[in-house]
């Protein structure tokens, strides 16, 4: 188990990571979502023992991970970090890139394990090509295969889904599931887009300005975000002042200026609901996203499968009390 306690790191006067505590359990996948500059990469480097913390520490199974200033070779054998740039050896094949990670093992085991990894990461067909002859997704998987070759206890990944198309994202998703479930690896990835994080992770954290502002099951963070930032980072959302809920007939609003969040899928088209006018219609494949004006000040986004709606149509909108989530800030 990897346990970070009160990790803090500044670059000059800029606090990049602030007092972050986090536990990565074996066989569990954790995702941290944050905007650009929120401290994701810095935190990964601290967790991997590749950067010195100003305060706090990281322990693997109760033993403190030493930072680069304390050891000759930074990092830890049981913790692997897959960088965004993959950092593959450019002049040797995919197979040799993976095999290099196992250079201290006996040849027969090395060959067996490399074949196993190439198959697992779906690289068998491109194993003889060098990195510049393979796609971004294949590079990504080569980096992962290399990182997991000798079965580390912890795998950390920087934006593993960000430059991949859907089929490649699904391959990486399945790979992470496989690692967590079969090898009991603790996996953590950071991302600026929660789309994949929601479906892949067991635990989801929200990082803002170096602080871990929320941590929980993806469904809880999605439905009950602590702040407007956490709400926006986890998916499309409507945020409005509580006083405007009166448009839906809600009368028990205590603090009118407090912000509430409504996910688009929780708002329903309903002829008996609050009157609204359609402002925009976006086709999304399986459904439409529509934007409606309820008043001069309130417009909302909602989802529907109806395909008879057009800009300017008058519709009714309804909402259940339990769909309204009050934000803290
Ligand atoms: N070596 C450095 N020297 C000075 N400032 C740095 C250094 N590395 C990062 N920073 C700053 O620290 C903050 C956090 O950076 P970090 O790279 O950890 O964020 P990030 O969430 O990974 O961003 P991105 O998603 O854009 O990669 C940013 O404001 C960044 O400019």
Three-state DSSP class for residue 236 = coil
Across the range 99-112, mean pLDDT stands at 94
Does the pLDDT of residue 329 top 70, yes or no?
Answer: no
Does the pLDDT of residue 290 top 70, yes or no?
Answer: yes
Does the pLDDT of residue 252 top 80, yes or no?
Answer: no
Give Cβ neighbours of residue 281 (< 8 Å, ≥ 6 apart).
Answer: 288, 289, 290, 291, 309, 310, 311
The C-alpha atoms of residue 272 and residue 257 are separated, in whole angstroms, by 27
Question: Ligand 1: which residue has its CA nearest to atom 31?
Answer: 37
What would the DSSP string read from start to end of 37-85? TSSHHHHHHHHTTSS--SEEEEEETTEEPPPTTTSSS-SBTTEEEE-TT
Split at pLDDT 50, 70, 90, the class of 289 is very high
Does the pLDDT of residue 244 top 80, yes or no?
Answer: yes
Distances (CA, A) of 163 to 40, 123, 215, 265: 17, 18, 25, 27
pTM of the model: 0.91
- Would the CB of 34 count as within 6 Å of ligand 1? yes
What pLDDT shows up at residue 328? Answer: 78
What is the architecture, at CATH level 2, of domain 2-233?
Answer: 3-Layer(aba) Sandwich (3.40)
The C-alpha atoms of residue 134 and residue 76 are separated, in whole angstroms, by 29
* Per-residue pLDDT reduced to its tens digit, 59-89: 999 999 999 998 888 889 999 999 988 889 9
Tell me how far the alpha carbon of residue 65 lies from the centroid of ligand 1, in angstroms: 22
The C-alpha atoms of residue 201 and residue 324 are separated, in whole angstroms, by 25
Q: Which residues pair with 155 in a beta bridge?
A: 80, 187
Does the pLDDT of residue 207 top 70, yes or no?
Answer: yes
Q: Which of 13, 14, 190 to mutate to test the pocket of ligand 1 (most atoms within 8 A of CB)?
A: 14
- Would the CB of 254 count as within 6 Å of ligand 1? no
Give Cβ neighbours of residue 287 (< 8 Å, ≥ 6 apart).
Answer: 303, 304, 305
- Helix count (H) and strand count (E) of the chain? 8, 17
What pLDDT shows up at residue 14? Answer: 94
What pLDDT shows up at residue 251? Answer: 75
Split at pLDDT 50, 70, 90, the class of 248 is confident
What pLDDT shows up at residue 148? Answer: 93
What is the architecture, at CATH level 2, of domain 240-326?
Answer: Beta Barrel (2.40)
Q: Of 56, 54, 58, whose CA–CA distance to 44 is shortest? A: 58
ipTM comes to 0.97
Distances (CA, A) of 121 to 27, 175, 247: 18, 7, 53
- Sequence spans of domains, the chain: 2-233, 240-326
């Amino acid at each position: 188990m990897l346990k970070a306690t009160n990790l803090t790191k500044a670059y000059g006067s800029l606090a990049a990571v602030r007092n972050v505590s986090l536990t990565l359990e074996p066989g569990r996948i954790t995702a941290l979502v944050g905007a650009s500059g929120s401290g994701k990469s810095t935190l990964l480097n601290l967790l991997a023992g590749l950067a010195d913390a100003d305060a706090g520490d990281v322990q693997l199974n109760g033993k403190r991970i030493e930072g680069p200033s304390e050891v000759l070779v930074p990092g830890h054998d049981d913790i692997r970090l897959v960088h965004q740039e993959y950092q593959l050896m450019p002049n040797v094949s995919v197979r040799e890139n993976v095999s290099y990670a196992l250079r201290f093992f006996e040849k027969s085991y090395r060959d067996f394990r490399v074949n196993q990894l190439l198959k697992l990461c779906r690289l068998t067909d491109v194993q003889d090509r060098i990195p510049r002859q393979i796609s971004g997704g294949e590079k990504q998987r080569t980096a992962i295969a290399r990182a997991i070759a000798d079965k580390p206890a912890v795998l950390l990944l920087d934006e593993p889904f960000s430059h991949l198309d859907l089929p490649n994202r699904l391959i990486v998703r399945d790979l992470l599931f496989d690692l967590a479930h079969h090898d009991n690896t603790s996996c953590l990835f950071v991302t600026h887009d929660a789309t994949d994080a929601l479906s892949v992770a067991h635990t989801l954290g929200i990082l803002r300005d170096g602080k871990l502002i929320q941590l929980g099951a993806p469904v809880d963070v999605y439905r009950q975000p602590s702040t407007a930032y956490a709400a926006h980072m986890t998916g499309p959302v409507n945020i409005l002042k509580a006083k405007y809920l009166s448009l839906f007939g809600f009368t028990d609003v205590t603090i009118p200026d407090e912000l509430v969040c409504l996910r688009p899928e929780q708002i329903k088209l309903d002829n008996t609901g609050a009157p609204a006018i359609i402002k925009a219609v976006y086709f999304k494949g399986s459904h439409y996203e529509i934007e409606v004006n309820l008043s001069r000040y309130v417009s909302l986004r909602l989802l529907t499968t109806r395909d008879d709606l057009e800009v300017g149509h008058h519709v009714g909108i309804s909402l259940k009390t339990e769909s309204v989530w009050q934000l803290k800030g």
